[in-house]
Structure 1
Amino acid sequence: MNLSEFGIDFLESALITVEEDKISQEDAITNDILEYAIDSGEVIAHELCHYKVRGIKINAWNYDEENASIDLFVTIFKGEPRLTKVSDRDVLDAFNKAENFFWQARDGKLSAKIDESDINVFDLVQIIEQSKNEVKNARIFVLTNGEASAEIIPEALEQNGVYIDFQLWDMERVYQQYLIRAGKQKIEIDFLNDFNHKLKCLHMEKVSEKVDAYIAIIPGRILASVYEKYRQGLLEKNVRTFLQFRARVNQGIRETIRKEPDMFFAYNNGISTTAEKVEVEFEDNIPYITKIENWQVVNGGQTTASIFATSTEKDIDLSKVFVQMKISVVRQQDEVGAIVAKISRFANTQTIIKDSDFSSNNKYHIAIENFSRTEWMPTKTGGKATNKWFYERTRGQYLDERSKKTVKEAKIFDREYPKKQKFIKTDLAKYEMSWLQRPYDVGKGAENNFKLFTKELASQKNEISKKYYQRLIAKAILFKEIDRIVAKKNLGGYKANMVSYIFSWLSFKTNKKLNLDTIWENQGINETLNNIIEQMITIVWDHLNNPLKVGMNIGEWCKKPECWLTLKDKFIDTSIINEEIKKLDSYIENDLIGQELSHLELKIIQEASNVKSETWFALAKWAKEYSKFTPFDRKLSYNLGVLANRKNTLTVKQSKNALRLLKQAADEGFSE
């Protein structure tokens, strides 16, 4: 598939999304281009928004609160059924419109002009204005499904204490990412022909039967040039993405290059790389590397990308910047994945890689991926199943697998794995954390919520059954259906918060006994569930828009546990979904553990759940008056009373402790 064919296919795919998701063509193109940008690691996430007036336009944005950075995206949509050119003037005009938006919002000139009902834009304007003392980095992206010249991209600049970087994602750049994903464009560096340079090296012979090892020093200008051409493709096996100059170490790299370039080699730890093949020639018995094939930076991605980014600034000279480099040539290609993962984990780096960065290799995620490749969706007609859900365990898997297909095979892949049935790790975390009734954590953002979810996983057994996977997909279906129903209301904003809170409220009101099996079997929700969601929308919308503290930002209010605590006990008649709730005697616990309970465990839960709240409160009072039990058990007695009063289903652990307390109390003379 050449560039022109790719551009046509890209537009057709986006138009399918328009029909399925009922969004505008510009939104669909924005989403699909950003999917590649996120896959590449250049972008973390995005929120769609629409604002266009004279001299100003914005299509999407992202605010990285942790690193105080703003990303703004503006789209140039081309609807012709062919790959068309985008003029330099249109590209520069788009950059200017997004930059104008940033500065006017920052100076408080847009607050009065934005209708508060347009929540996404209003929130963005507030964030830019209120964080002007914190935000030191902004990136402006022009996105287009046309073909544009990269030569006219404005140079990065520093203005009013803000470092602004400009990036262009047109079809050529998206196509390059596609080729990298498809394995059709390997990173092959010919130092002699491309740079008129060869790397003096030290070849470590017989270090291992698994790898050949080389150590060399690479000029900063060459490393920057390679990164400029291949971008995140060079860092494909690196577990992190480049965070611009947000991290302190990246700022240190930048300052060293600016002020002490001759000291860069001394200050920097260097990079660790892998390769499929290294070509060496000898001169006076000294080895020199002339070519590297399938080159990947597995540690030092921050160093590499920071050198390039700094090189784009005015008056930067990289002639004195040198980087020490280790190259591990993996002899057996089937061992590349395992060896690279260990290099990434153990090699010294300038910024620490936490174990959570490797969560995609957790056996939980591997199990979900395996089920998603084998478990067909049930059909309503009883005919042959035709599609599955696709779990993207590692970033870009969906694009990766699709890009390796022929045009005909890609169409079959699209039928088997519809794009709307793709979900990623952060999606999974949203489903589960909402089901666990923690919408305030979901509101903290996809990455932060995923970190919390990972901690939750660490405390579980994580043995995933087929039934657990089916119920997980049922949660995904329910979550998406709530999203669809909320979207139809055109409330103007906070949709993500609304969906999570409604999902959590359903979980709470049904004691996590909503019949997920029925949702799985039908691949959808019925009319009664739809109706209760409709009723919940009004209550939740009113609740979120009336924080306890008058004037509090709604987004911040949604992150507070108090927001959830003051919502969950509000009254709503859920009797219409009684048929959708499993009875305790047939109920099988389906939280994160993913294991079905034994009959003995179900019996223990049943026995503990039959104890009335009055009994627990009386026991707690008796224990306090007569100094019985430990302080923990006295508090547990009271908590069990609260749970019984709310008719919450007890866990196995809670039930065992409850029966233990009852026996101990009886042995010590307690009676109601």
Structure 2
Amino acid sequence: MQLQEFAVEFLESSLITVDEEKISQEDSITNDILEYVVDSGEVIAGELCHYKVRGIKVNAWNYDEESQTIDLFITIFKSDARLHKVNDREVEDAFQKALNFFWSARDGRLSGKVDESDTVVFDLVQIIEQSRNSVKNVRFFVLTNGQTSADIVPEAKEENGVYLDFQLWDIERVYQQYLIRSGKQKIEIDFINDFNFKLKCLQMDPVSDKVDAYLTIMPANILAEIYKKYRQGLLEKNVRTFLQFKVKVNQGIRETIRGGADMFFSYNNGISTTADKIDIEYEGNAAYITRIENLQVVNGGQTTASIFATSTEKGSDLSKAFVQMKVSVVKHEDEIDKIVPRISRFANSQTAIKDSDFYSNSDYHVAIENFSRSEWVPAKTGGKATNKWFYERTRGQYLDERAKRTTKKEVGIFDREYPKQKKFTKTDLAKYEMSWRQRPYDVSKGAENNFKIFMKESDSDKVVISKQDYHYLVAKAILFKQIDRIVMRRNLGGYKANMVSYLISWLSYKTNRKLNLDKIWENQAISEQLHQVVDQMINIVWKHINAPYKAGMNIGEWCKKQECWLTLKDKFIDLGPLGEELISQSVSNVEACLEVVNLSPQDARILNEAAEVHSAVWFAISKWAKENNMFTPFDRKLVYNLGVLANRKTSFSPKQAKNGLRILKSAKDNGFQQAEAS
């Protein structure tokens, strides 16, 4: 597929999303390009928003608390079904409008000008303004489905103590990412022709029949050029999800290159790489690497990206900086997929990449992926099934698989079998499950944080996934996606992600998880009766999350508090319309397993002790505490909720049980008589 054909198909695919998701063409294009940007590892995520006034515009944004970095995205949308040229002036204007937005928000000039009902933009303005003393890195991305000149991108700079970086993602760069993901553009480094250079190396004695290993010293300026060309395609795909290096250049690397590049080799641990093949030339007894095929950095992504970022700064000189590099060449092609991830895993064992980062290879996720490739969606008309859900176990799998189709007919068959709207990822899965488990405050902490909590609490390797478990998971995905659309159509102005999670958690709680998930799987949709109940719930949840216990508290932060959930869950909602939507049991085997694994003997003892306390005792403590002004409002509410759970014969979590017993003991110590519960 050539660039022109790709551009037309990219636009057509985006228009399908417009119809499916009921969003604007510009938002759809923004979303689709963002998918490639996220897949490349350049950013963690992006949240759509749309703000435009004279001289100011933003289409999406992201704030990463860990690196204290703000990303702002602005889109130049071209509606012509052809490869459209974007002139330099349009790109310059887009960067300037994004810059104007940032400085206006940071200096407080947008306060009072952004409608509070547009909560996505309002939150962004608040974050920029309130983090002016902490955020030191801002990236500006211009996204366009047109073709631009790469030379128009401004150089990174520091201004008023803020490091500003500029990136351009046009259709040509998206196409390049597509080629890399599909394997159509091989990563081939020809050192002689490209750099007029040969890498002197040491070859390890052949002690393994699986790999050949080499040690070499890579000039930093050549490494920067290689990264500039291939970007995240240089990073082993199963790991790069977790590399997520931000625009903030690693300060140590940056300062070493600036102040003493000659010491870089001594100060840095180097990088580990793999390759499919290398060419060696000999001069006397010395061996030189002249060419590497499919080079992949499996450890040292931070180093590689930071060297490149530093090379873009004015006045930087990498001529004296060198990097130690280990190259492992897998001898047998059929073992590449097995050996390379292991090299990556163990090479990263002492870095910030923990074992938990590699859950994509766990039996749990592999099983879900396998079911998603074999389980056809029930046909509504009773005819032949035509499509499936697509579980993206590793980032970019969907694009990978689609890119492997070489003709338009093959792509069309893939799109019909795996519609884009039926794709879901590991972090999506965690949102569905944690919402259903009534943990909206964890979901509100963000996709990556919620996923870490989900995996930490779920010993998924011990769970056997059945076909029914997979059906229930897809049913939760349908529930989440359709409630998301219902909320979106209400045009509430923001906090949609929080709203959806709270709605599902509340629905799960109120129905005691007895919603008929089998019916949702069979129909691939929620019923009209459930739609009606959700419509009623929206008004209550929206009012609730917009009334935090502290006046002026940020709504997003309020949604992350467990108290936000505890003060919502027992509010009244009429479930009468559900009728036959409820069944006696709809908890899957995997749910049951995931919620009881890894209990320590102490946790088990605490749970048993708390379970023996009658619901009337918990209610009596709550009443007694209120009458005597004892305990915090949080504890009073918690003990009341324990009474509700006990009354429903619903199990406590270890945390609930521990806090409940603490409150019970404190109540007795302060004069509460258990006889008061009679």
What TM-score, normalized to structure 1? 0.89
Match of 1:566 in 2: 567
SS of the counterpart of 2:591? Answer: coil
Counterpart CA distance in 1 for 2:594 and 2:316 is 59
Counterpart CA distance in 2 for 1:344 and 1:642 is 50
Counterpart CA distance in 2 for 1:641 and 1:86 is 61
Counterpart CA distance in 1 for 2:653 and 2:59 is 49
Counterpart CA distance in 1 for 2:279 and 2:337 is 22
Counterpart CA distance in 2 for 1:308 and 1:246 is 12
Match of 1:515 in 2: 516
Residue type of the alignment partner of 1:477: I
Pairing of 1:221-620 with structure 2 (within 5 A): 221-237=221-237, 238-239=239-240, 240-246=242-248, 250-347=250-347, 351-405=351-405, 406-458=407-459, 461-583=462-584, 588-590=587-589, 592-593=591-592, 613=614
Counterpart CA distance in 2 for 1:208 and 1:305 is 31
Counterpart CA distance in 1 for 2:553 and 2:226 is 48
Counterpart CA distance in 2 for 1:245 and 1:493 is 27
Residue 110, structure 1, aligned to residue 110, structure 2: yes
Is the CA contact (8 Å cut-off) linking 1:280 and 1:290 kept in structure 2?
Answer: yes
Residue 59, structure 1, aligned to residue 66, structure 2: no
Residue type of the alignment partner of 2:570: D
How far did 1:619 drift?
Answer: 14
Pairing of 1:78-89 with structure 2 (within 5 A): 78-89=78-89
How far did 1:351 drift?
Answer: 3.6
Counterpart CA distance in 2 for 1:333 and 1:258 is 41
Is the CA contact (8 Å cut-off) linking 1:464 and 1:595 kept in structure 2?
Answer: no
Match of 2:629 in 1: none
How far did 1:461 drift?
Answer: 3.5
Residue 96, structure 1, aligned to residue 96, structure 2: yes
Residue type of the alignment partner of 2:117: S
Is the CA contact (8 Å cut-off) linking 2:274 and 2:330 kept in structure 1?
Answer: yes
Residue 195, structure 1, aligned to residue 195, structure 2: yes
Match of 1:182 in 2: 182
Residue type of the alignment partner of 2:281: E
SS of the counterpart of 1:364? Answer: helix
Counterpart CA distance in 2 for 1:557 and 1:244 is 27
Distance 1:297 1:527, change over 3 A: same
Counterpart CA distance in 1 for 2:450 and 2:285 is 56
How far did 1:331 drift?
Answer: 0.4
Distance 1:517 1:653, change over 3 A: farther
How far did 1:332 drift?
Answer: 1.0
How far did 1:459 drift?
Answer: 7.3
Counterpart CA distance in 2 for 1:430 and 1:323 is 41
Distance 1:492 1:269, change over 3 A: same
How far did 1:241 drift?
Answer: 2.9
1:216-257 deviation per Cα after TM superposition (whole angstroms, max 9, x unaligned): 00100100000000100111344433413548xx22111111
- For structure 1, the 5+ residue unaligned runs are 598-609, 621-637, 655-671
SS of the counterpart of 2:567? Answer: helix
Residue type of the alignment partner of 2:160: N
Is the CA contact (8 Å cut-off) linking 1:207 and 1:213 kept in structure 2?
Answer: no
Counterpart CA distance in 1 for 2:37 and 2:641 is 49
1:257-284 deviation per Cα after TM superposition (whole angstroms, max 9, x unaligned): 1111110000000011111111011112
Is the CA contact (8 Å cut-off) linking 2:62 and 2:71 kept in structure 1?
Answer: yes
Is the CA contact (8 Å cut-off) linking 2:67 and 2:246 kept in structure 1?
Answer: no
Residue type of the alignment partner of 1:216: T
Counterpart CA distance in 2 for 1:640 and 1:545 is 22
Counterpart CA distance in 2 for 1:653 and 1:467 is 28
Residue type of the alignment partner of 2:17: T
Is the CA contact (8 Å cut-off) linking 2:279 and 2:290 kept in structure 1?
Answer: yes
1:403-427 deviation per Cα after TM superposition (whole angstroms, max 9, x unaligned): 1102111111100110000000111
How far did 1:312 drift?
Answer: 0.2
How far did 1:348 drift?
Answer: 5.8
SS of the counterpart of 2:203? Answer: strand
Residue type of the alignment partner of 1:502: L
Match of 2:140 in 1: 140
Counterpart CA distance in 2 for 1:27 and 1:473 is 26
Is the CA contact (8 Å cut-off) linking 1:244 and 1:306 kept in structure 2?
Answer: no
Residue type of the alignment partner of 2:138: A
How far did 1:146 drift?
Answer: 0.4
Counterpart CA distance in 2 for 1:616 and 1:472 is 37
Distance 1:215 1:645, change over 3 A: closer
1:46-81 deviation per Cα after TM superposition (whole angstroms, max 9, x unaligned): 110111111111000001112211000000001111
Match of 2:636 in 1: none
1:600-638 deviation per Cα after TM superposition (whole angstroms, max 9, x unaligned): xxxxxxxxxx99956877999xxxxxxxxxxxxxxxxx9
1:473-498 deviation per Cα after TM superposition (whole angstroms, max 9, x unaligned): 00010111111111111111111111
Structure 1 range deviating more: 343-352 or 488-497: 343-352
How far did 1:104 drift?
Answer: 0.9
Is the CA contact (8 Å cut-off) linking 1:190 and 1:290 kept in structure 2?
Answer: yes
Is the CA contact (8 Å cut-off) linking 1:7 and 1:145 kept in structure 2?
Answer: yes
Counterpart CA distance in 2 for 1:220 and 1:287 is 20
How far did 1:350 drift?
Answer: 7.7
Is the CA contact (8 Å cut-off) linking 2:362 and 2:461 kept in structure 1?
Answer: no
Distance 1:506 1:640, change over 3 A: closer
Match of 1:209 in 2: 209
Match of 2:630 in 1: none
- For structure 2, the 5+ residue unaligned runs are 597-610, 622-638, 656-677
Residue 2, structure 1, aligned to residue 6, structure 2: no
What TM-score, normalized to structure 2? 0.88
Residue 75, structure 1, aligned to residue 78, structure 2: no
Counterpart CA distance in 2 for 1:507 and 1:316 is 57
Q: What is the RMSD of the two structures over their aligned residues, measured on CA atoms?
A: 2.5
SS of the counterpart of 1:218? Answer: strand
SS of the counterpart of 2:320? Answer: coil
Is the CA contact (8 Å cut-off) linking 1:95 and 1:140 kept in structure 2?
Answer: yes
Counterpart CA distance in 1 for 2:641 and 2:96 is 61
Match of 2:160 in 1: 160
Residue type of the alignment partner of 2:480: F
Residue type of the alignment partner of 1:556: E
1:297-326 deviation per Cα after TM superposition (whole angstroms, max 9, x unaligned): 111111111100000000000000000110
Distance 1:400 1:492, change over 3 A: same
1:362-414 deviation per Cα after TM superposition (whole angstroms, max 9, x unaligned): 11111110110000111122111001000000000000000110211111110
Match of 1:121 in 2: 121
Distance 1:432 1:214, change over 3 A: same
Match of 2:149 in 1: 149
How far did 1:643 drift?
Answer: 5.0
Residue type of the alignment partner of 1:136: K
SS of the counterpart of 2:424? Answer: strand
SS of the counterpart of 1:298? Answer: strand
Residue type of the alignment partner of 1:428: L
Is the CA contact (8 Å cut-off) linking 2:271 and 2:297 kept in structure 1?
Answer: yes
Match of 1:669 in 2: none
